[in-house]
Structure 1
Amino acid sequence: MHDSNEPKKTSLNRRVFISTGVIAAGVATAGTMLPGGAKAFAQSLSQENQIRLLKGDVAILRFLAAAELIENDLWQQYAELGGVTEGTQNNYQLAFQFLDGDGSQYITSNTIDEISHATFLNAYLESRGADPVNFDEFRTLQGSTATGAQNIGRLTNLMHLNVDTSWYIRYRSSTNPDFGATFPQAIKIVNRPAIPRTDADFNDPNHIQAIADTAAFHFGYIEQGGSSLYASLSQKVRDLEVLKITLGIGGDEIAHFLEWVDFAGNAVQGPPFSFDNSQTPVTDKGLTFPNFNVTPGGPLFQTNLIFPVPCEFISKDLPRCSVIRPLDDHFGGAVATAKSFIADGLFVGQSKEFLQTFMNMAEEADAARRVR
């Protein structure tokens, strides 16, 4: 774990050559979702693929495109303030780089990936004669006013989050929610910001580290949800090309999740100093990120267990197996995802029309069925 005040040189090199253009234009790209290149792609592909999709596959792809638009929006906000930038690093970036020297690069890379997912899904829908998803009319929320944030309307709110941290325990447990298992919160994060709201949030070292640590657990929450969502909906897909898409993008979500498992673990372990040499565990306004290797301790909290522990799968009579979980509709499907986003606080301040639109899309996706 890198604990220097300066970011690693390599963290700025791997994909930064595309980050300036893509991240800076990310909201516009994610909003219209079909810039010239994507439209040309859809039109070209549609000439070779005139077979229209079945209703269920359209519903699945449209909900996934909607979910990716939402991810675009929230990751864009993280990237603007905590991702790769030129010049002096702000204290939010340094707090991430305390957790991992490449933290800012990972945030930028994750954002680029999510933009590509939404752009592709909408272009593919058009290529198969289906309507793309556009949420531009709902980009009405006020985001951060801290230096570095764009003054534009947002879909999501990252300043009043109720982060479900039970995923941290779930993936270290041998039990499976698909069999009825439940899990406690690793840390109770209620109504907390995961980005600096104003420049004032940069000033207190404990405060900004707690904001970054909150974000670290939120990253894991978002990407574990995507991992289960794609795996759950893949079981309903009928078109083999659509299945190729859900498996391909779903695999990338799993890759994201694995990184953020490690990242969140770094927020709750030693060494006992933060980026500015203040003492940890970090405590800020009633929220504490302790050293999980000391308190409470044990395998359910062990910070270096970054791979899924073998758990119940298919049948309790079969050997335990390391898998993504949950995989069933009830816990990992579209409606479960939509409800989870709402409970997370992502849509605080959003209109009832947006919430109803998103929930209707979720219900249509979950209603899809594969013919046996």
Structure 2
Amino acid sequence: MKKQSSTMSNPLDRRSFMRGGLVAGGAAVMGAGLLNSSKQAVAQDYDSRRGLNRGDAAILRFLAAAELIESDLWTQYAELGGLTPGQKPVEDIPNFTPMNTYQGSLMALDSDGPQYITSNTLDEVSHAEFLNAYLVSKGADPVNLDQFRTLQGSKATGAKNIGRLTNLMHLNVDTSWFTRYRSTTNPDAGATFPQAVTITNRSAIPVTNADFNNPNHIQVIANIAAFHFGSIEAGGSSLYASMSQKVSSAEVLEITLGIGGDEIAHFLEWVDFAGNGCQTPVAPVTDNGLTFPNLFANPGTPEFQPNLIFPVPAEFISPNLPKCATIRPLTDKFAGPKAAVAALTGSGLFTGQSNGFFATLEILADQAEAASRF
């Protein structure tokens, strides 16, 4: 996508940043809203006795930025599709009435959908808060992206009129995660996978109240969201697994494995959730040229079987070893920070963001990818 011109008065200079960490010529560079304080961050030598070296700090900063981005997008989903404030979980209300037809369409995929969305949101917010607090506890600067909360979100009832980091209204959702986890081949070994459904430049949330009115229209929006949920959490699962291979500190490894495990738990729920959008009674459903088919109508194609939840055993490490069910991909090329930024950008999630925002993510990704446990 084309990056919009920056509105910042002091954009980051990438070369000087990479030469001196976040410090150019001995003075802290705070451009692009990257850091929360004026302490010299990367250029300082972290106290090894406190268990955080430069590489580990870079990994945690990138993960903190990723969690801030996830928190922003999930908050938008929760405002419109999560539990209505004050509601109890759906199963506690015998005659539960959805807040709106978007919430009702998400419930058509799973009656607990609003609860899952709210819970997923709370988890992501906790990840971002923990990672930043941990960085501070080790003498490192936290990541602050508030300067880039400038995007307009939904204007539908329930959405807050505040600036956003992410744009959920022009998404190109990569649905190949759906077929990848049903395949016996591995992307790290060069395998590619077809899209389960082709979703191009579509909104995953109601944009205005008019979107609530047509049943097929709002169900397709909910189905788009379901596949986007899976795409985001599949990427997070792979990212944490990739980063765990780079950390030096046992405590930082505990963090990446612990939070990464929660991302996997999220992903497995959304695998089932998205699959429900491609079988009866929801599918087939069509709106404005986009159809979610009943994938059970094509027997003999296991890569598209909608009721498969767990990863299928696939090639792992070597073709000479038995197939193994794993998270995949796991390598930097397909799952590392640069790959994550490229995937999120290509998905349209950052439509309308400034050059400074993209530069910030690029720098964070470069530094995290350069980290090594050796």
TM-score range normalised by the length of the shorter chain: 0.7 to 0.9
Change (3 A) 1:89 1:297: farther
In the alignment, structure 1 residue 258 sits paired with structure 2 residue 268: yes
TM-score (norm 1): 0.84
In the alignment, structure 1 residue 92 sits paired with structure 2 residue 95: no
Is this contact kept in 2: 1:33–1:119, CA < 8 A? Answer: no
Tell me the distance in 2 between the aligned counterparts of 1:253 and 1:223: 6
Is this contact kept in 2: 1:33–1:118, CA < 8 A? Answer: no
Give the corresponding residue for 2:345: 342
Give the corresponding residue for 1:70: 69
Give the corresponding residue for 2:116: 106
For structure 1, list consecutive stretches of 5 or more residues without a partner in the other structure: 1-30, 35-48, 275-279
Q: Secondary structure at the match of 2:297?
A: coil
Is this contact kept in 2: 1:232–1:329, CA < 8 A? Answer: yes
Matches within 5 A, 1:114-125: 114-125=124-135
Q: Secondary structure at the match of 2:295?
A: coil
Q: Secondary structure at the match of 2:117?
A: helix
- Give 1:359 shift: 1.2
Tell me the distance in 2 between the aligned counterparts of 1:346 and 1:358: 13
Alignment-mate amino acid for residue 334 of structure 2: F
Q: Secondary structure at the match of 2:286?
A: strand
Tell me the distance in 2 between the aligned counterparts of 1:332 and 1:367: 14
Change (3 A) 1:70 1:297: farther
Is this contact kept in 2: 1:33–1:122, CA < 8 A? Answer: no
Change (3 A) 1:270 1:297: farther
Give the corresponding residue for 2:233: 223
Q: Deviations over 1:185-244 (max 9, x none)?
A: 111000000000000000111110000000000000000000000000000000000000
Is this contact kept in 2: 1:234–1:243, CA < 8 A? Answer: yes
Change (3 A) 1:316 1:112: same
- Give 1:88 shift: 5.0
- Give 1:295 shift: 3.6
1:368 to 345, 366, 371: 371
Give the corresponding residue for 1:239: 249
Tell me the distance in 2 between the aligned counterparts of 1:88 and 1:210: 17
Give the corresponding residue for 2:286: 283
Matches within 5 A, 1:1-372: 51=50, 53-85=52-84, 86=87, 89-271=99-281, 274=282, 280-295=283-298, 298-371=301-374
Alignment-mate amino acid for residue 287 of structure 1: L
Tell me the distance in 2 between the aligned counterparts of 1:191 and 1:368: 35
Q: Deviations over 1:88-112 (max 9, x none)?
A: 5200000000000000000000000
Alignment-mate amino acid for residue 81 of structure 1: L
Alignment-mate amino acid for residue 120 of structure 1: F
Q: Secondary structure at the match of 2:328?
A: coil
- Give 1:296 shift: 7.0
Change (3 A) 1:99 1:119: same
For structure 2, list consecutive stretches of 5 or more residues without a partner in the other structure: 1-32, 37-47, 88-96
Is this contact kept in 2: 1:72–1:115, CA < 8 A? Answer: yes
Q: Deviations over 1:265-293 (max 9, x none)?
A: 0000012xx5xxxxx41100010000011
Tell me the distance in 2 between the aligned counterparts of 1:161 and 1:55: 35
Tell me the distance in 2 between the aligned counterparts of 1:32 and 1:334: 16
Alignment-mate amino acid for residue 244 of structure 2: S
Tell me the distance in 2 between the aligned counterparts of 1:296 and 1:359: 43
Tell me the distance in 1 between the aligned counterparts of 2:199 and 2:50: 47
- Give 1:53 shift: 1.3
Tell me the distance in 2 between the aligned counterparts of 1:198 and 1:216: 19
- Give 1:303 shift: 1.0
Q: Deviations over 1:31-69 (max 9, x none)?
A: 9999xxxxxxxxxxxxxx962511100000000000000
* RMSD after superposition: 1.8
Is this contact kept in 2: 1:52–1:129, CA < 8 A? Answer: no
Give the corresponding residue for 1:12: none
Alignment-mate amino acid for residue 78 of structure 2: A
TM-score (norm 2): 0.83
Q: Where has structure 1 moved over 3 Å in runs of 4 or more?
A: 31-34
Change (3 A) 1:219 1:88: closer
Tell me the distance in 2 between the aligned counterparts of 1:319 and 1:52: 37
Q: Deviations over 1:104-132 (max 9, x none)?
A: 00000000000000000000000011110
Alignment-mate amino acid for residue 65 of structure 2: A
Q: Deviations over 1:155-194 (max 9, x none)?
A: 0000000000000000000000000001111110000000
Percent of pairs with identical residues: 68
Larger CA deviation: 85-94 vs 203-212 = 85-94
Change (3 A) 1:88 1:266: closer
